[in-house]
Chains A and B, each alone.
Chain A
């Protein structure tokens, strides 16, 4: 018998992902599930699905799940968490959901330092509806609703969520990561794990922004998408820790 060196995390169901080939949602789902496994919290975790490509996350995570209206996941998560603070509560949201229609819920759950974890997948486009301009679409980016490129003079500039929230007194931990290579995937997992650990320790609000790709709606191969992410997304959305109230203590 050979030794099992790689297997599906327990916290993922056997359902097949509906995501397009090359989409990074699969990697991010796996990272969250691995963290739930390693921290042994699947049995007391309640996930909140949002609206967008990740709407079906309730089919993929084995923990209890509730599906929220567009943008409202942090409010629903607030209710779930307040109902029983022993619950581990996370939302999984895209950029349209979190940074456009749900901006108020994002900002106010952060400023309350609500003890929840938000996984924010930023791929600079509305995926589920077929590639429209997102609040995080880059200047000049061509989408279905910015066919001549995002014109910042008429529609304004992309929103940098981690930077914006870092100005608030409330939130505990904000980090931007990506999953374009193995090194970054490992760093992303470390950040996601820290976010859940903070929640377990009652430390408060954490948001992990994962800079991601959308090969289908960007109109690129998966490989080319990763190159585009590196050349265009990362300069506008620099990786790093934007806030960590407990960083110093940990370093000591």
Chain B
């Protein structure tokens, strides 16, 4: 077992990526994720890898497309406005069936927004962001330790299904320091016969492409891709259940909001309120089944998010609106307090009681 080390979230992501076999990083400075690039700039030359500061976010994601086309692990990172710039390239990656990892250490928006932490790119991450029918594999760590394990996991899943993956963190997680253990990183081997490695005059040429002028062909490509998405929805959802055995109200929160929510749940339990939490770890695929099952047991749900209520919609969908879903939101860079969450939990008992 490796020793515990104290690391900043952004640096933990970078080191975990390198340990997961990612030798290529392309990025562009933006607060609050710049430590990822700075760490890569220091480490990559030492391990024979490539760090390149691109001329733009747009160029960075396209450099990732170049490396991903050759079948190697590659990563870029940014924060909200920069991820919007990458959206075109992410859509191309999805259309070209290229695995890669995109890290979004979110800050407040829209527009230039602010530099304080936020979770307001949920829709962008799970509903698209770029054009066309596609999904990303989206993971949402809630601790620096999870930033390590989910970074490595995201690379494996991306390669398994040939989809781009996104690690959706926020400025708090990126900037905070926690003790982590850098182990349990496995690098899975997946088929790379599609990669551009040069024909060596031994095979037909490989082509990485998302263009088809034939509607029926393009439709079929999308149908085939959605079969892989279906398999992902079956096999890849991850979530954590906390104090759910006897829960009458279920908090749903991801990332840093779940840490605040845990404090609120402990305070509620101390008052005798039976509250638990389901924390989605994968935001796509969303852990629909466990939420649907919970809807048969609890009186109400409370979604805690640092946005105006985005995951809220997926909770209503997953639970088929069988029970009331109350929102607890802060946005613009503000973080909800445990007291705020507790007050909405208490509201949920009242609302749920009237059902």
Residue of A nearest to B198 (CB): A44
A185 within 8 A of B: no
Query: Residue-by-residue, is A90-126 near B (CB-CB < 8 Å gives 1, otherwise 0)?
Result: 0000000000000011011000000000000000000
Among A53-107, those with CB < 8 Å from B are 55, 58, 61-69, 72, 75-84, 87, 104-105, 107
Asked whether, in the complex, the Cβ of A67 is within 8 Å of the Cβ of B208, the reply is yes
Per the 8 Å Cβ criterion, residues 174-223 of A in contact with B are none
Give the residue of A13, A65, A78 whose beta carbon is less than 8 angstroms from that of B208: A65
CA of A83 to CA of B208, assembled, Å: 16
- Give the residue of A46, A63, A79 whose beta carbon is less than 8 angstroms from that of B24: A79
Residue A43 is within 8 A (CB to CB) of chain B in the complex? yes
User: Interface readout for A25-53 with B: 1 if CB under 8 Å, 0 if not?
Assistant: 00000000000000000111110110000
Q: Are A72 and B59 CB-contacts (below 8 A) given A80-B67, A82-B52?
A: yes
Q: How far is the CA of A107 from the CA of B55 in the complex (A)?
A: 9
Chain A residues touching B, range: 35 or more
Main secondary structure of the interface of B (DSSP, over half): mixed
User: With an 8 A cutoff between CB atoms, is B116 at the interface?
Assistant: no
Pairwise interchain contact A63-B26, C-beta atoms closer than 8 A: no
Q: Are A58 and B66 in contact (CB under 8 A)?
A: no
Closest residue of chain A to B206 (Cβ to Cβ) is A64
B residues near A79, Cβ cutoff 8 Å: 24, 26, 62-70, 74
- Number of interchain pairs (Cβ within 8 Å): 128
B163-202 CB mask vs A (1 if < 8 Å, else 0) is 0000000000000000000000000000000001111111
A62 to B62 Cα, complex, angstroms: 23
Q: Which residues of A contact B72 (CB under 8 A)?
A: 83
A45 and B206 alpha carbons, distance in the complex (Å):
11
A-chain residues with CB within 8 Å of residue B69 when the two chains form the complex: 46, 66, 76, 79-80
Do B200 and A82 touch (CB < 8 A)? no
Chain B: minimal CB distance from A46 (Å) = 5
Q: A43-B200, A67-B210, A67-B211 are in contact. Are A105 and B67 (CB under 8 A)?
A: no
Task: Report whether A75 and B54 are in contact in the complex, using a CB–CB cutoff of 8 Å.
Answer: yes
> Contacts A75-B54, A79-B69 known; A108 to B59 CB distance under 8 Å?
yes
Please tell me if the beta carbons of A78 and B63 are within 8 angstroms of each other in the complex.
Answer: yes
- Contact assessment for A43 and B198 in the assembled complex, using a CB-CB cutoff below 8 Å: yes
In the assembled complex, the Cα of A108 lies from the Cα of B52 at a distance in Å of: 12
**B50 interfacial contact with A, CB 8 Å:** yes
In the assembled complex, B207 has its CB within 8 A of some CB on chain A: yes
Q: State whether B59 touches A46 (Cβ < 8 A).
A: no
CB pair B52 A83 closer than 8 Å: no
Tell yes or no: B56 within 8 A of A by CB. Answer: yes
Interface residues on B, range: 35 or more
Contact B66 A75 (CB under 8 A): yes
* Most chain A CB atoms below 10 A, which of B52, B66, B208: B66
Is A82's CB under 8 angstroms from B198's CB? Answer: no
Q: A66-B207, A69-B89, A75-B59 are in contact. Are A42 and B64 (CB under 8 A)?
A: no
- Please determine whether B26 and A64 come into contact, CB atoms closer than 8 angstroms: no
Contact assessment for B66 and A77 in the assembled complex, using a CB-CB cutoff below 8 Å: yes
Q: Is the CB of B198 within 8 A of A83?
A: no
A72 B210 Cβ-Cβ under 8 A: no
Rounded to whole Å, the gap between the CB of A133 and the closest CB of chain B is 23
Residues in A whose Cβ lies below 8 Å from that of B316: none
Q: A104 near B67 (CB under 8 angstroms)?
A: no
Give the most central of A55, A75, A105: most B CB within 10 Å.
A75
Residues of chain B lying within 8 A (CB to CB) of residue A46: 69-70, 196, 198
Q: Tell whether A44 pairs with B64 under 8 Å between CB atoms, given A66-B69, A69-B88.
A: no
Give chain B residues whose Cβ lies under 8 Å from the Cβ of A61: 205
Distance, CA A43 to CA B205, complexed state (A)? 9
With most chain B CB atoms within 10 A of its CB, the pick from A13, A48, A79, A81 is A79
10 contacts between A and B (CB under 8 A): A43-B200, A43-B202, A65-B209, A66-B209, A67-B96, A76-B62, A78-B66, A83-B70, A108-B54, A108-B59
Q: A82-B52, A105-B62, A108-B54 are in contact. List 11 more A-B contacts (CB 8 A).
A: A42-B199, A44-B200, A61-B205, A64-B207, A65-B209, A66-B196, A66-B208, A67-B208, A69-B62, A69-B89, A75-B62
Chain B interface residues (CB < 8 Å from chain A): 24, 26, 50, 52, 54-56, 58-60, 62-70, 72, 74, 88-89, 92, 96, 196-202, 205-211
Report, nearest first, the 6 A-B pairs whose CB atoms are least far apart.
Answer: A79-B66, A75-B62, A108-B55, A64-B196, A44-B198, A79-B63
